[in-house]
């Protein structure tokens, strides 16, 4: 019996919400019971500043083993030669990389937030846009796609010290090879933030950034289906050319700088309970079951995108290569704010999202972002995608009809209760 009834009643309420509804937020997923069990373990009590074998605290023998297992598993999963599993989040991972690679005021070239990029890729309201000098590339208005030649032109003009690729709302694959060519030409470090499609990349379903990019960061939730956290990887070590020197004036190898960028650069003690959960998730991601899962995620997204198009919705770039899609609602006379509210009443969870060349504020938006990672974890397949889009369309076309939305909600609740969050393991 839990004594803090207020909090545990709210946790139960959230479990009911997640169980009965359709979760379509592209950045969310359902971690397994063993991942959640590791996160809620006694490891939360342990302080372990430093790296395995090089801690500033005693009693780290066990957590050293756990962290080394997490490192070994993620290196095997992605084909990396080096990894740091300590970042608390994807934003922390990006902050550590920039601290390691750049000096304040250095130029960075990132994907525009309003076109589908991320806050930490140079947004003026974020540390990345405050400490460094940001420049941006975006998608073409006619196609919704990135023109790699135009990215190269901007890089040649601005000569940034770092080029950042990756997105939070871009449904197409990335040409890392083309970006590496221009990065080398202008002398920039190439950072890939693969937080959204990392699970698909890990199992070879999308282009591999580690083959071309100097540094790769990711979150460990989303398609990777682990705990909320971050990760930094490299395909090979290299010297940092941007003036970070040792006391003796020697250029450090990037792995040393990145380790220092994490601790003590941007955070203190690592969350060893979360690192244990990461290790569990990496182990799960190496299995045949997970391979079938990410294949299904991609199939479901493709079918869902087609279903939206068939109902007259305007998908940015016309479709998807990964797990997500960005939908411009202006052709339906709707805003993202209206869509998010109406679908929420019907127990369909999405997020309103800016679309490229949006004419509305970030609090209203003209679009919505959806993804298939979470519903695929629940066990839904291609044949279910048209039904989901049907529910969405029905709710949106009757967004001001409370009785109709309640009817959609009841149908969804009855359906989703057939798919438990946790299967017997």
Alpha helices in 159-241 (DSSP H): 176-186, 198-202
Residue 68, judged by CB atoms within 10 A of its CB (0-12, 13-18, 19+), counts as middle
Q: Is 52 labeled as ligand-binding? A: no
Q: How would you classify the pairing of strands 351-353 and 22-23? A: unpaired
Active-site residue flag, 193:
yes
Encoded tokens for 234: 């490299």
Q: Which of 120, 218, 219, 377 is catalytic?
A: 219
What's 425's DSSP letter?
-
The 10 Å Cβ neighbour count of residue 268 is 10
Given a contact cutoff of 8 angstroms between Cβ atoms, the answer to whether 161 and 102 are in contact is yes
From CA 104, how far away is CA 102, in angstroms rounded? Answer: 7
Active-site residue flag, 49:
yes
Q: Which residue has the tokens 């083959």?
A: 211
Q: Which residue has the tokens 């202008």?
A: 186
Encoded tokens for 41: 């373990």
Q: Is 119 labeled as ligand-binding? A: yes
DSSP 76-116: HHHT-SEEE---SSHHHHHHHHHHHH--TT-EEEEE-GGGT
Angle at which helices 61-78 and 272-285 pack, to 10 degrees?
30
Please calculate the CA angle 276-4-38 and round it to the nearest 5 degrees: 10
Q: Which of 193, 214, 284, 384 is catalytic?
A: 193
From CA 39, how far away is CA 66, in angstroms rounded? Answer: 13
Active-site residue flag, 321:
no
Nearest of 125, 203, 173, 290 to residue 192 by alpha carbon: 173
Nearest of 371, 369, 324 to residue 351 by alpha carbon: 369
Given a contact cutoff of 8 angstroms between Cβ atoms, the answer to whether 389 and 307 are in contact is yes
Q: Which of 46, 107, 228, 332 is catalytic?
A: 228
Q: Is 361 labeled as ligand-binding? A: yes
Given a contact cutoff of 8 angstroms between Cβ atoms, the answer to whether 189 and 163 are in contact is yes
Q: Which of 49, 173, 181, 411 is catalytic?
A: 49
Q: Is 118 labeled as ligand-binding? A: yes
Q: Which residue has the tokens 């799960």?
A: 284
> CA neighbours within 13 Å on the CB side: how many for 385?
26
Q: Which of 19, 20, 28, 47 is catalytic?
A: 47
For the chain, how many residues are written?
A: 425
Q: Which of 55, 203, 222, 298 is catalytic?
A: 222
Q: Is 127 labeled as ligand-binding? A: no
Active-site residue flag, 47:
yes
Residues contributing to the annotated binding site: 113, 117-119, 361-363
Residues contributing to the annotated binding site for (6S)-5,6,7,8-tetrahydrofolate: 113, 117-119, 361-363
Residues with catalytic function: 47, 49, 193, 219, 222, 228
């Amino acid at each position: 019996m839990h004594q803090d009834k207020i909090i545990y009643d709210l946790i139960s309420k959230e479990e009911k919400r997640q169980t009965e509804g359709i979760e379509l937020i592209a950045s969310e997923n359902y971690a397994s019971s063993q991942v959640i069990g590791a996160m809620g373990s006694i490891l939360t009590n342990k302080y372990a500043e430093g790296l395995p074998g090089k801690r500033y605290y005693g009693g780290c023998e066990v957590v050293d083993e756990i962290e080394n297992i997490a490192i070994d598993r993620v290196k095997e999963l992605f084909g990396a030669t080096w990894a740091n599993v300590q970042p608390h989040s994807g934003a922390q991972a990006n902050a550590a990389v920039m601290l390691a690679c750049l000096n304040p005021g250095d130029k960075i070239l990132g994907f525009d937030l309003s076109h589908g990029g991320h806050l930490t890729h140079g947004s003026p309201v974020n540390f990345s846009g405050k400490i460094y000098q940001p420049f941006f590339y975006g998608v073409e208005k006619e196609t919704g796609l990135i023109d790699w030649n135009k990215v190269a032109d901007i890089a040649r003009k601005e000569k940034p010290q770092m080029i950042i690729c990756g997105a939070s709302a871009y449904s197409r694959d990335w040409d890392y090879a083309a970006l590496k060519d221009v990065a080398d030409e202008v002398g920039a470090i190439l950072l890939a933030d693969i937080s959204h499609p990392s699970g698909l990349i890990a199992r070879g379903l999308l282009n591999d950034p580690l083959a071309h990019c100097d540094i790769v960061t990711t979150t460990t939730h989303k398609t990777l289906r682990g705990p909320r956290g971050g990760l930094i990887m490299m395909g090979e070590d290299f010297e940092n050319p941007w003036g970070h020197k040792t006391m003796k004036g020697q250029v450090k190898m990037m792995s040393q700088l990145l380790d220092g960028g994490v601790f003590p650069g941007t955070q203190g003690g690592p969350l060893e309970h979360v690192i244990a959960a990461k290790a569990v998730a990496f182990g799960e991601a190496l299995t045949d079951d997970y391979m079938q899962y990410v294949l299904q995620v991609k199939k479901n997204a493709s079918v869902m995108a087609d279903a939206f198009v068939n109902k007259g919705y305007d998908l940015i770039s016309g479709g998807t290569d990964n797990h997500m899609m960005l939908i411009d609602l202006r052709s339906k006379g709707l805003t993202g704010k209206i869509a998010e509210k109406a679908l929420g009443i019907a127990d369909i969870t999405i997020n309103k999202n800016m679309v490229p060349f949006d004419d509305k504020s970030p609090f209203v938006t003209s679009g919505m972002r959806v993804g298939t990672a979470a519903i695929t974890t629940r066990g839904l397949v291609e044949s279910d995608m048209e039904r989901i889009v049907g529910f969405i369309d029905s709710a949106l076309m009757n967004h001001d009809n409370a009785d109709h939305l309640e009817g959609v909600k009841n149908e969804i609740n009855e359906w989703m209760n057939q798919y438990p969050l946790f299967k017997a393991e």
